[in-house]
Amino acid sequence: MSVDLTALAKESVWTEKYRYADAERDYHSSGGTNSCHAGTDGCNPYADRINSLETENQSLKKSVNQLTALVSKLELRVSSLEKSSSSPPSATAAATAAKPVAKPAATAKAEDNDSDVDLFGSDDDDDDKEADELKKKRLEEYANKKAKKPGVIAKSSVVLDIKPWDDETDMKAMEENVRKIVMDGLVWGASKLVPLAYGIKKLQIVIVIEDDKVSVEELTEKLEELEDYVQSVDIAAFNKI
């Protein structure tokens, strides 16, 4: 007995076997019951989802309609307020604003009395002369008082670098001789030895001077006259106080 294999080859059950396998798996996973119920849209598995979306869509449309109505009311309200604010003031309000405020009787009387007083006038020539003399006297007193008042004394803080001849220079003796220099308006301050090179140190010392009394150039010349100790003097810093 021969079997016609050509007919079997035309059957799609073999090529679409995965569809039948998926259907069988879904059937067993649902407990063997049919998920379709009477009164629903046949056996469409998306029917419940579609119904839910339609319900949600109707709710959204209702909310949108309510919001649209509310916006319309707000626009009408704003338009009404703009018209009322741009309208010209009433005649009563304009008359009230234009009406001048009456001055109190006491103030008006005081102004009348003040208008009768000549603040710069004088009764006669003698009064004018006496006033001029008094003014001149007061100006002289003010000028004398201002001249006696001490002015601000300008001072400066200066840092000097005093360099010795070599490393054998007695730096202690050099500082002692430096501080012996006395000038009106000169105050010697703190000092320290700063290394230079090859064991040589310089004397760095702070001074405070009155600008009108002490010249830094003159002081530098006096320091360089200490030829046994001082080679040169430099200004490391100069600040106004």
User: How many CB atoms sit inside 10 A of residue 164's CB?
Assistant: 21
In whole angstroms, give the CA distance from residue 127 to residue 119. 13
Range of the domain at 59: 43-72
- The Cα 172–Cα 176 span in angstroms is 6
How confident is the model at residue 56, as a pLDDT? 87
State residue 160's pLDDT score. 95
Sequence-distant (≥ 6) Cβ neighbours of residue 91 within 8 angstroms: none
In this structure, are residues 212 and 154 in contact, taking their beta carbons and an 8 Å threshold? yes
113 versus 87: the higher-pLDDT residue is: 87
Distance, in Å, from the CA atom of 52 to the CA atom of 46, rounded to the nearest integer, reads: 10
Is-above-0.85 flag for pTM?
A: no
Distance of alpha carbon 111 from alpha carbon 105, whole angstroms: 10
133 in a domain, yes or no?
no
CA distance 205 to 178: 10
Give the CATH number of the domain where residue 204 resides: 3.30.70.60
pLDDT attached to residue 190: 95
Residue 117: inside a domain:
no
The verdict on residue 160 lying in a domain is yes
In a domain, 63, yes or no: yes
- Among 72, 93, 113, identify where a domain stops: 72
How far out from the chain centre does Cα 33 lie?
A: 75
Structure letter (DSSP) for residue 41: S
For the chain, the domain total comes to 2
Q: Would 168 be classed as within a structural domain? A: yes
Average pLDDT (84-102) is 57
Question: What SS3 state is found at 34?
Answer: coil
Residues 6+ apart with CB under 8 A from 211: 154, 155, 156
Confidence tier at 34 by pLDDT (50, 70, 90)? very low
pLDDT digits (tens, 9 = 90+) for 124-166: 566 778 888 888 888 888 787 777 666 678 899 999 999 999 9
For residue range 177-218, what is the model confidence (pLDDT) as tens digits? Answer: 999 999 999 999 999 999 988 899 999 999 999 999 999 999
Q: Are 236 and 157 in contact (CB under 8 A)?
A: no
Residue 107: pLDDT band with limits 50, 70, 90: low
Determine phi and psi for 38, rounding to 5 degrees.
-65, 140
Q: How far is CA 110 from CA 40, 106, 116, in A?
A: 101, 6, 10
Enumerate the H helices of the chain as residue ranges: 5-10, 17-29, 47-86, 91-98, 105-115, 125-148, 171-179, 216-224
In a domain, residue 56? The reply is: yes
Domain boundary residue, one of 52, 72, 92 = 72
